[in-house]
């Protein structure tokens, strides 16, 4: 029996407990948090001992069996696979976990894997974008599954049209457009790979949508001040959140670009930093003094010494891994709630940066350069925000006596 941090571990995991505890400490877990994990694996080890199982028996099925038994015993915490993740992550590099036989892919997954490779290698899409495409077209491919494989040669224009109408029903315009775009891409891939003799991309109907029909919803100056003031910069979390929201609102970065920012991307001497944008494009932007000061303040007095990797922004709770795109979104969401502004998404701060630049007199073309738009049409939507400039272009309604737009 080994006693680590006050938790007794006996059984198959006994010899691994000290190393596991040291690993938790290196990842930034508090003594209390590490003790709870040790108590958890102590319970798991006793269960394994009672069932005469060793570490090499920790298959996914055995893990599920243990967690079901723990839930049945009335435990209210550490009841999911997520709770097992720290232990499995520690044991896996040691080579003591069972080696699972590779699972043979079915015809649907096999085709989609080839399509994924095409998107990433041939088309240059990011892994995340490719994942979105695959999710959109999976129902179409699955619908062609037969007992003897996939019936792709028999796809007709009517089949394509029917799928789009069914899949896009009751969906938002953006979601429907993604389905249409992904399906056209898949049909082109199937034609190029000789899975289909004829290209049916022209059979995919378009989604009704009007360019520039929306209005960007940026925050008013007082709302932005309230949002930034909601960060308690006396604490590490507040310093991190303030730096993130300042980057989003001043530079118009996307949430994923902030999450991907690395320590080596910042050139403090030149006052610049590198941004990895859409399509894996790498571009350099100036680092304003106030943004740089906020990031430096977080790095000096907020970023934990146990942070893993070279990401600038990391999780508050251990393990201190890189903050994800969803994590950046939640930072803004929580800030909006604290400031009494309701639900605010990270992209709204990108709109805020654009509208503020436009109202300060920045030409529309320059706004597009800061936002790194490929097309001027993407930036043109912000022209509607500058109402004073539009008022000069408005023509009086025939018969009106005002002589101008009301």
Q: Which positions are annotated as active-site residues?
A: 254, 278, 347, 350, 373, 382
**C-alpha separations of 215 from 85, 191, 272, 381, 385 in Å:** 44, 39, 31, 7, 7
Q: Which residues of 86-106 are buried (b: 16+ CB within 10 A; e: fewer)?
A: bbeebbeeeeeeeeeeeeeee
Alpha-carbon distance 244 to 47, whole Å?
Answer: 44
For residue 329, the SS3 value is: helix
What are phi and psi for residue 387, nearest 5 degrees?
Answer: -70, -30
For residue 335, the SS3 value is: helix
Q: Helices 31-50 & 81-91, crossing angle to 10 degrees?
A: 90
User: Between the CA atoms of 383, 384, 385 and 388, what dihedral angle is there, to the nearest 10 degrees?
Assistant: 90
Alpha-carbon distance 125 to 128, whole Å?
Answer: 8
């Amino acid at each position: 029996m080994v006693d680590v941090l006050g938790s007794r571990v006996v059984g198959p995991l006994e010899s691994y407990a000290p190393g596991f505890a040291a690993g938790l400490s290196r990842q930034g877990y508090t003594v209390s948090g590490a003790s709870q994990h040790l108590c958890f694996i102590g319970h798991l080890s006793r269960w394994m001992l009672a069932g005469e199982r060793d570490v090499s028996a920790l298959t996914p099925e055995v893990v599920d069996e243990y967690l079901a038994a723990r839930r049945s015993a009335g435990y209210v915490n550490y009841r999911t696979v997520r709770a097992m993740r720290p232990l499995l992550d520690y044991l896996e590099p040691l080579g003591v976990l069972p080696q699972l036989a590779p699972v043979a892919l079915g015809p649907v997954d096999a085709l989609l894997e080839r399509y994924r490779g095409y998107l990433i290698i041939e088309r240059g899409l990011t892994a995340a974008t490719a994942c979105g495409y695959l999710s959109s077209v999976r129902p179409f491919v699955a619908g062609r599954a037969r007992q003897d494989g996939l019936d792709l040669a028999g796809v007709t224009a009517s089949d394509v049209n029917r799928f789009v109408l069914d899949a896009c029903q009751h969906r938002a315009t953006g979601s429907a457009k993604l389905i249409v775009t992904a399906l056209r891409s898949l049909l082109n891939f199937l034609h190029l790979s000789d899975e289909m003799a004829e290209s049916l991309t022209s059979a995919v109907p378009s989604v009704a949508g009007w360019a520039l029909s929306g209005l960007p919803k940026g925050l008013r100056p007082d709302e932005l001040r309230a949002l930034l003031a909601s960060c308690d910069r006396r604490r590490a979390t507040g310093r991190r959140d303030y730096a993130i929201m300042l980057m989003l609102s001043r530079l118009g970065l996307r949430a994923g670009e902030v999450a991907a920012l690395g320590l080596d991307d910042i050139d403090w001497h030149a006052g610049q930093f590198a941004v990895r944008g859409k399509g894996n494009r790498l571009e350099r932007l100036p680092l304003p003094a106030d943004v740089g000061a906020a990031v430096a303040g977080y790095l000096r007095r907020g970023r934990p010494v146990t942070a893993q990797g070279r990401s600038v922004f990391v999780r508050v709770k251990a393990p201190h891994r890189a903050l994800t795109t969803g994590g950046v979104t939640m930072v803004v969401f929580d800030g909006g709630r604290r400031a009494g502004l309701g639900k605010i998404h990270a992209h709204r701060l990108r709109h805020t940066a654009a509208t503020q630049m436009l109202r300060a007199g920045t030409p529309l073309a320059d706004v597009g350069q800061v936002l790194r738009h490929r097309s001027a049409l993407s930036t043109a939507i912000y022209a509607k925000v500058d109402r004073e400039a539009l008022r000069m272009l408005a023509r009086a309604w025939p018969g009106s006596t005002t002589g101008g737009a009301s």
